[in-house]
Amino acid sequence: MFNRYKKVIKRMIVKHPRRTIVLGFLGVIFLGAVLLASSASERAGNVSFINGLFMSTSAVCVTGLSTIDVADNFNIFGRTVLALLIQIGGLGITSIGVITIMLAKGKVSLGGTRLAREAFNISSGKDLRALLRSIVLVELTVEGVGAVLSFIAFYGNFGFWKTVGISIFHSISAFNNAGFDLFGSFRGLAGYHDNILVVIVTTALIIIGGLGFFVNMEIVTKRSFRKFSLHTKVVLCMTVFLIAAGTLLLLFTEHTNLAGAYFQSVTARTAGFATENIGQYSNAGLLILIILMFIGASPGSTGGGIKTTTMFIIMKNMKAVAFNKPCTAFNRRIPEDTIQKALVIATLGMTMIIASTLLMSLFEPAFAFRQILTEVVSAFATVGLTTGITPYICSASKIILVITMFIGRVGPLTLITLWWQEHKPEANYTEEPVNVG
């Protein structure tokens, strides 16, 4: 019987890698929920299963939204479980699985290769071992350096061993764009808004994690903008533009200092740390954060959102249509199927946000529309920024945000194509135009 189930699983991995990835995420989320809701993880003994499920989903989807405070409700075991869930969610279920296979067998099967190709959105499984080795090395190195620098920044406010634990957790959470912290009472980084070292270290970890593994490796190996691939050029240009534009706009709308505006511009894509109470932001300031959250980080990274490359392609296509020219960038023509995919991703993202906002508005009539919209976009884009309403929403709203976080992490396009299979068209239909606009 075991061999029969083994064959079924193997056939599913080879033929349906997307389904395997989705089921892998669901399995880890459920296991994490059971562990976080158990007495072994609780510090105060009041973590319900729905809160455990919410926190597990938020960790695996590297979101950072919290219905309960991590430091106040979880002991060392619970915090360790949460850190592992963040690491698994950031590195990816597939990466963990393929790395485990490599360690156990020394080689990756056809099913493992297809899973990795689907998860990393690459066309070839060539040199997969080297790729995964580089990804793990980059992640552990950056997190290690981040933990040391975080220790220097936080030491003096806590005891030695507590500072060690906070620094390691903070580095993992920041690099994986998760946004969880161990400072208690939902304070976040509010006490460090003037600490330049904390701002620099945290934003550096967020940016490196948000660029994506392939971009980071190209930067290290090629070291020249001219030699970079089109993908890397787009990611770097959009990242710089969004950080700069967000900083300037927040300076103008919120009249905050440069460090605060810069930090919120970076963390909105898609880390979720906050040095300021965004619940007190103006409508204009919240709208800027919502736009930054919706765009998010870059493909192949630990961040969410529709991705910087998607937004870049949409803007380039709008320009191409306006001037009746081909869609190009950096002397390269962007394929039509890539343009269509970008438009579909953005449309699905907006549809998901509208549906979740509508449902939450029905369940939470006491909260303002801007608060609910911010919460939903934060969940979909796996950001974690909140206006402060998450701990007070009802169970139905928690379930809505759990589903929204999950769809945002695995991708709406992945979900709607779970049952898609290649097939030959049955007929060629006559083309006829439809008036639009």
pLDDT tens column, 156-172: 888 889 999 999 999 99
The segments of the chain whose pLDDT lies below 50 read 2, 5-6, 8-10, 12-14, 104
217 burial via Cβ count (<10 Å: 0-12, 13-18, 19+): middle
- Distance, in Å, from the CA atom of 14 to the CA atom of 243, rounded to the nearest integer, reads 40
- Distance, in Å, from the CA atom of 431 to the CA atom of 215, rounded to the nearest integer, reads 40
Residue written as token pair 């930067």: 219
> What ranges do the domains of the chain cover?
2-416
E strand or H helix that includes residue 333: strand 332-333
Beta-bridged to residue 74, according to DSSP, are 42
pLDDT of residue 396: 94
Which candidate, 202, 145, 150, places its Cα nearest to that of 176?
202
Which candidate, 287, 288, 262, places its Cα nearest to that of 273?
262
pLDDT of residue 169: 94
pLDDT of residue 236: 94
E strand or H helix that includes residue 329: strand 328-329
